[in-house]
Structures are given as structure tokens and as C-alpha cells.
Amino acid sequence: MSDKFVSGNLPVLALRGLAIFPDQTVHFEVGRIKSAMALESAMKKDQHLILVPQKDILDDDPGFDGLYPIGTVVKVKQILKSQSENIRVLVNGLYRAKVHALTQTEPFLAGDVSVVDEIPAPKSLHTRALCREANILYGSYVDASEQPAQSVQLKLMASDDCGYIADTIAQHSGIDYRDKARLLAQINPVKRLENVLRFLQQEVQMLEIESHIQERTRSLIDQEQRDYYLREQMKAIREELGEGDEQSEFAEYEKKILQLNLPSESEEKVIRDIQRLKKQPFGSAEASVLRNYLDTVLELPWNTSTKERIDIQTAKKILDQDHFGLEKVKERILETIAVRQLAPEMPPQILCLVGPPGVGKTSVAYSVARSLNRKMARIALGGVHDEADIRGHRKTYVGAMPGRILAAMIQAGSKNPVLLLDEVDKMGSDHRGDPSAALLEVLDSEQNKTYRDHYLEIPFDLSNVMFITTANTTDTIPRPLLDRMEIIELGSYTDEEKLQIAKNHLIPKQLKKHGLKKSQLRLSDDALREVIFCYTRESGVRNLERMLAQICRKAAMRLLDVDAPKRLQMTGSNLEEYLGTRKFLPDRLPGGDTVGVVTGLAWTSVGGETLEVEVNVMEGSGKLELTGNLGDVMKESAHAAMSYIRANAQKLDISTDFYKTKDIHVHFPEGAVPKDGPSAGIAVCTAIVSALTGRSVRSNVAMTGEISLRGRVLPIGGLKEKTMAALRHGIATVIIPKDNEKDLEQIDQTVRKALHFVVTDNVDTVLSTALNCNASIDPPILKDIPEEVRQKNHRSGIRQ
């Protein structure tokens, strides 16, 4: 079908703020569903449809009365889907047409269309003059609008058809769409061109006025003020609209500041900042900084506090509800609360909870806040290495803000909250300062009454705040900071404590979290012990909780099966169905008494472990080989043990020239795991003596202690965790230094009753306890223990 004779019933697409003229190629975007379906209908037939401007651009669903009567029949050249989910259409205008009536409105518009014939334009001097004037005026328009339109100008210069020139200029200019609709309805090309010239002349004049306004604005701004160009325009607009009155805002600031009843020095300083704000031009950077500062001052809880509840019995009840065990920790916290009850005017003590991950340090702090009825805010200090994070940035910097302490006070909304400084041992320091030094003032009750943040610049009282810090170790905390805190150590949980925590806290929590009822899933004590022993290896209970969550997820799946049981019973035998193969197996202790193999005890960040020491003696030239990824301290400890053995070789019934004729290899298995520390000294010494003398080591004996060159056994740390590891791995006797005897009081009674402890201050006792006596050899060390020492140990129940 020819493009010149398409009429009848055609899809109608309403244009919003746009008009398409004949003989013009235009692209536009379609977003409305009806418009998209009209396009789709046209593409299925002959790609023809009529584009009609709508009268109200805010009308999303115009009807016949909402459309202009004259439109343009176009042929669709291309359709593309844009990123904004709109359809981008390229069309070619064919001819004017009139929509007599809409034949349908759903799912798209369609109408009865007929061709509108134009009146032929006469060839006269008047029309030629109009065309020439149109070319000249359109050139002026292009220059004023600074838009590239060379191709359009060339088409205009090459044509003498006044109708085509009028349509082209109307299509490629900023004439209002309502005027374009009138031009589209004008079928007399000469009058249409005259109207186009009138409209275009108005556009040129408007562009000249806009340019003149811009030139005037630029002339008012010198070279140094060009960066404030947009702000000055906003100021001029606000003044024209009569919105420049800011006095009410300043009065509101002053009123709120006076209501805070700040100290006179602080109040005067803030009032001065309000006076400075009054002098700032609207929208200036300095005004924005001052407004943020004043808002921060008003957000701080200067006079807001919560009523503290100091009740020992309530606090004890809350602590027992939230945590199982931790008796020493609870006792110390209750002592602090008791002091607050007797002496409320005393500043709160600063507590530092130290312990391995997952033992409940953070949750204890939350329980303290709940028991005291105080607000709680947590400050994570792990990885902080900038002093400004603590004390804030000065207002002169872009993006300045208060430090974390004041930010936490704003978050708490009270001047007497509990502030938890989490992971205080993991702060760093660099060229920007040391955040731990900034905490010295915060955690000093004599200084924090007038704490000054760099951003706030006025003193703020922190003396009513109860600070609680947490750390995994005190080794990395600077001594001045550590001196300001009272250390409360949270040790590792015993396996029995983990069992009770799981039964009373973790399992109910996970059942509720996973939508399970207590009757639907039951875990026996054997199953829980199996999870603790074989699927987790930690000081706390975080991994244990993850394992229980995994069991709950698997159980939920099982209970929703087609042939689902009503109840699931978890035992040690069916645990692998839910958690898979056991992740941790008990350390393999020697099957029997072995020469040159000693079981030591080690402390790790996740609890205690047994540490096997293996020694081989070979013919050689006296080399001492140390392997197993050892640190410098452990290597030095092995050399100290070797020196002791050489000095006492005759006493130990060892050849005095063994260091010349024998090569000794000391190895710690699990070479991928770094090991360090002096506490394996007596284990290394015992293993070397066993290998050199051929005397086997008792497999049910474990030991820990540092050795000196004189054979003294020196104290070690982490005894609680080490003894729990010994019990877990089936050890019967544990040798510990004499100076650690006092630490036995801190060990769980279950562990203490199950193990036999041997305390000593010399290596001779270690060797006599750990080594089996050969029938042919009676080493002097067994004879050298004084009888009175034997009797004393016998009476005290401790075996030497």
C-alpha cells in the first residue's frame, strides 16, 4: 500500500509535549502501555499510525476530547528498548490527517482518519521573501541557542517550499507544543510560515533576554567568586520570592541553646557561633558547617538521664538468666553494683572484660546495662587507627564530625549510659595519631568530667557514664590505658558448662528462631557432647550455636517431607546425618608407653590443646634439629633444655659425649600450625632424656612448664584451658610448676577431681614422674628427692 493513501482506521498514539510534522524524521520515547500497544499493532500491519498531540500533558489517559484534531500519519522506521524500560521510536512523518472519531480506546487508541489536503502555495516574491527571512531568522535562533543544526540549515537553504520550510523550522526549534499543534492544523503553507516566523522571533528574543540575564549575573561575580556562582543565583531567586528571612531560625537556635542551661563559657561560645551564622550568606559552606555544629550540640544529652536501678537481687537474677557459669565474673559485677548502691556519688568503675572469643564478653555488658536500667551504646574499636575517630575532627575540615564517644552519647540519648568499648585490644596507630592515647582522658574519672571533643570544642561531662571494655588479650593494650581499667578475666567454658549453656540457652533460642517446637526436636546429652567434642573446638559457644542452627535447619527440612515423622530424636549415633563427618577427632595419644614421645599442653585462642613432642636420636656429629613451625621463644626453650641435659649428663646416666656423637631431632607434629612460647620446656627435656636413655614415657602423663638452665620449673599461663584439654584427651596425671599451684583454685571442680596433679619446681621430679624405670637402671634422680618432701606431698594428696 502506498504511503500517500493510508487512511481509514489507524492506531492513534497521543504525544505529550511533542508534535511531529510531515517530511520530518524524529525519534522519541514511548512509556505508556497504550502507546506501546498502538506501536505493536502498527508494526503487525503496515507500520503506519497517526501521532496526535494531546492538550493536557498531565493527562495519562486522554480521550477524543483531550486530543488536538489534526495529527501526522507516520511510518515507523525503528524501535529500540532503552535502559529505562521505555521504547525509543524512530518515525518518518508522511502527511497531515484528521481524526474524526475514536473507534476504540482499549487496549490502545484507534480512530477513523482521513487525509488533510494542503492548499498549494503560490510562487511569488512574497513567498520567496518569507523563505529567505525564515532562513535568516533560523540562523539567528541557532546562534542564540548554541545548538548544532547545520544539516537542518542546509535543507532549508536547498528548498523553496514554504510549507516544508515552516514544518522543518517548527520541528527543530523550541516553539511551545501548543503553538506547534496550531501550526500542524494550519493547511495554508504561506500563513503557516508567517506564524512560524512570529513564533521563532519570540524564541530568539527570549534567548537574547536569557543571555542578557546571564551576562548581568556574571558581571556581578569577580574571578575569586566564580565558585559561588550557583549559590548567588539561588540567593537572588530566594530574594525575588521573598524567602530570605532567616531570623526565625536563628531565634529558635538561641532559644534551644538557652534551655540547655550550659556552663557560661560553653553557652557564650555557642551563642557566638549563632551570631557568626547570621552574617553568613545563604548557601555558603561556612553556614552549612555552623548549622551542622549547632544541630550536634542540641542533639547531645546534656540534661537527659535515665533513672538508675541499683538492686543486687535484680541484677543477680538478670545475670543468671542471660549467662550460665561465669561465677567469678558475676560476683565481681555484683560487687561493683553494691558499691554503687552504698556510694552513689562515686564515679562508676571502668571494667575490662578479657577472654577468648565467644565466651560472652559483649553480652555480659548488655546484661549489666539491663540490670542497671541504663541505656546502652556499643563502640567497635577493632581496626581503629586514627585519633580523630575517638576525639572527632575539627570543624575546619570538610565532612568534619564528632568522635565516636560523642556519637555514642547521641545514640544512647542519655548522659548516664553504659558505653561498651568493644575490642579495645585491636586498635592500631599510625601517622594520624594513637587512638589508645585519646582514650586515656575518656577512661580517667578525674578528667572525663570536662571531656573536650575536637569537633564540639566545649567540655562535655562523661563522669556519669559507665564504661565497659572488652579484649581478647591484655598484651596489646598500652600500659597507661590498662592501668585505668579493672581487669575481669573470662576463661574458656568447660565442656560441662557448654552442655548446660546449650540445653538452657542455645537450643531454646534456635528452636524459636527456626519455628520449631520443643516436642518436635529433642537432643540427648550424648548428642550435645558429641557436637561439643567432635564438631567444635573453641573457648566460647559461637560455633556450637552455629552447629545447633544447622541441626534445626536440617530438622525443619525433615519435618516438612511427605513422610515426615512427628518428632525427631537426636542421639550420638545419628548425628552425622545432620552435621556430616566429624570435623575434629581426639588427638591421638601414644597407644602405650613410648620412648622419646611426650604429651605437652598448650594454650590457644580457642582453648587448650595437647601438644605432642617427638625426639629421635641418631648417630651423627651433635646437631640439634628443631622442626614443627616453631617460634624463637620455643626454640630457645629447647636449647635451654639441651644445655641442662649436657650439664647433668652423668647424673642422668647419659654418655657425657652424646652431644658430639649423636644427632638429636626434636619435632612438634602439625607443622602447618605456628607454635611458640616457653611452656613446652620440660616436655622437650623429658622427651630428649627418654630418647637418650631408652626409657619410655608414661602415655597417661601430660606436662607444662618452662625450664631454666639450672633445671628449675618456672610458672606458665593458661592453666585452666590446658587442664581441660588434658581431661578431654584422656590424660590421668598432669605435671605443673610449683608456682602455679595457687591457680588450681580457679580450675573447674569437675576437672580438678578427674585429674591427678603433680606440682614441682625442678626437672628431677618431672623425670621421675613421667619416665618408666628400666629394670637394669635405677637413675640417681629417683634417689635425690628428699624423704621429707615425699612425706609432705603424700600428706597433701599431691604426688611428686
How far apart, in whole angstroms, are the C-alpha atoms of residue 704 and residue 774?
24
Cα dihedral 334, 337, 339, 345, rounded to 10, equals 170
The secondary structure of residue 416, as a DSSP letter, is S
| 298/399 Cα distance (integer angstroms) | 19
Query: Could you write out the DSSP letters of every residue in 501-528?
Result: HIIIIIHHHHHHHTT--TTTEEE-HHHH
pLDDT at 522: 86
Q: For the chain, what is the radius of gyration of the CA atoms?
A: 44
Residue linked to cell 537432643: 523
Task: Find out whether 751 and 494 touch, Cβ atoms under 8 Å.
Answer: yes
Burial class of residue 303 in the structure, from the number of CB atoms within 10 Å of its CB (0-12 exposed, 13-18 middle, 19+ buried): exposed
Question: What torsion do the CA atoms of 324, 328, 334, 338 make, to the nearest 10 degrees?
Answer: 160
pLDDT of 228 reads 62
Alpha helices in 60-161 (DSSP H): 125-145, 150-157
DSSP string of 613-657?
Answer: EEEEEEESSS-EEEESSB-HHHHHHHHHHHHHHHHTTTTTT--TT
Q: Which positions ≥6 away from 25 have C-beta within 8 Å?
A: 77, 90, 91, 92, 93
For residue 703, give the nearest of 791, 766, 648, 778 by alpha carbon: 766
Q: How many alpha carbons fall within 13 Å on the CB side of residue 66?
A: 17
Per-residue DSSP letter, 4 = G
Annotated catalytic residue, options 361, 662, 722, 738: 722
CB 763 within 8 Å of CB 703: no
The SS3 call for residue 186 is coil
Query: Residue 317: CA atoms inside 13 Å, Cβ hemisphere, count?
Result: 6
* 287 φ/ψ angles, rounded to the nearest 5 degrees: -65, -40
Q: Any catalytic annotation for residue 792?
A: no
Give burial (CB, 10 Å; 0-12/13-18/19+) of 398.
Answer: exposed
Closest of 295, 271, 19, 37 to residue 168, by C-alpha:
19
Q: What is the pLDDT of residue 614?
A: 93
Q: Strands (DSSP E) along 398-547, which ranges?
A: 418-422, 451-452, 459-460, 466-471, 486-489, 521-523
DSSP state of 757: E
Strands 351-354 and 109-115: what pairing? unpaired
Q: Which of 679, 690, 696, 768 is catalytic?
A: 679
Q: Say if CB 393 and CB 400 are below 8 A apart.
A: yes
> Could you tell me the three cell numbers for 97?
490527517
Ramachandran category for residue 477: left, alpha or beta (phi over 0 → left; psi -120 to 50 → alpha): beta
**Single-letter code of the amino acid located at 396:** T
SS3 state at 756: strand
Q: What is the DSSP letter of 221?
A: S
- Any catalytic annotation for residue 679? yes
- 662 Cβ contact partners less than 8 Å away, ≥ 6 residues apart: 617, 618, 619, 620, 622, 692
Contact present, 530 and 569 (Cβ < 8 Å) = no
Q: How many helices (H) and strands (E) does the chain have?
A: 29, 24
Which pLDDT value is given to residue 791?
41
Backbone angles phi, psi at 701, to 5 degrees: -115, 130
532 to 356, 540, 726: CA distances (angstroms): 17, 11, 16
ω into 107 cis (within 30 of 0)? yes
- Residue 56, SS3? coil
Q: Identify the helix (H) or strand (E) that includes residue 460.
A: strand 459-460
Q: What is the separation of C-alpha 573 from the centre of its chain, rounded to a whole number of angstroms? A: 40
Would you call 388 exposed, middle or buried from its count of C-beta atoms within 10 A (0-12, 13-18, 19+)?
buried
Cβ atoms of residues 492 and 357 within 8 Å:
no
Taking a C-beta distance cutoff of 8 angstroms, is the pair 356, 472 a contact? yes
Q: Which is nearest to 362 in space by CA: 505, 487, 467, 469?
A: 469
> Residue 326 is placed in which grid cell?
561465669
- Check: CB of residue 791 under 8 Å from CB of residue 711: no
State how far the Cα of 54 lies from the Cα of 71, in Å rounded to an integer: 10
Under a CB-based contact definition with an 8 Å cutoff, are residues 358 and 540 in contact? yes
Which stretches of 641-737 are assigned E, i.e. beta strand?
A: 662-667, 701-703, 706-707, 713-714, 733-737
d(CA 567, CA 467): 47
* Cα distance between residue 690 and residue 692, in whole Å: 6
**Nearest alpha carbon to residue 235 among 275, 298, 176, 280:** 280
Q: In what order do the strands lie in the sheet with 486-489?
A: 376-380, 418-422, 466-471, 351-354, 486-489
The whole-model pTM stands at 0.57
Q: Which H or E element spans position 97?
A: strand 87-104
Q: Which three cell numbers stand for residue 91?
A: 518515525
- In angstroms, rounded to a whole number, what is the distance separating the alpha carbons of residues 495 and 750? 10
The DSSP 8-state label assigned to residue 328 in this structure reads H
Hey, is 539 helix, strand or coil?
A: coil
Helix axes 150-157, 162-171, angle to 10 degrees: 170
Amino acid at residue number 743: D
Q: Give the C-alpha separation, 202 to 91, whole Å.
A: 29
pLDDT of residue 230: 64
DSSP state, residue 120: P
* Nearest of 748, 745, 708 to residue 725 by alpha carbon: 748
Q: How far apart are CA 61 and CA 66, in angstroms?
A: 9
User: d(Cα 279, Cα 271) in Å, to the nearest integer?
Assistant: 13
HSE-CB for 314 with a 13 A CA cutoff: 12
- Collect the ranges in the chain with pLDDT lower than 50: 1-2, 775-800
Closest CA to 27 of 86, 73, 79, 71: 79
Exposure string for 140-160, b = 16+ CB within 10 A, e = fewer: ebbebbeeebeebbeebeeee
Distance CA 224, CA 395 (A): 23
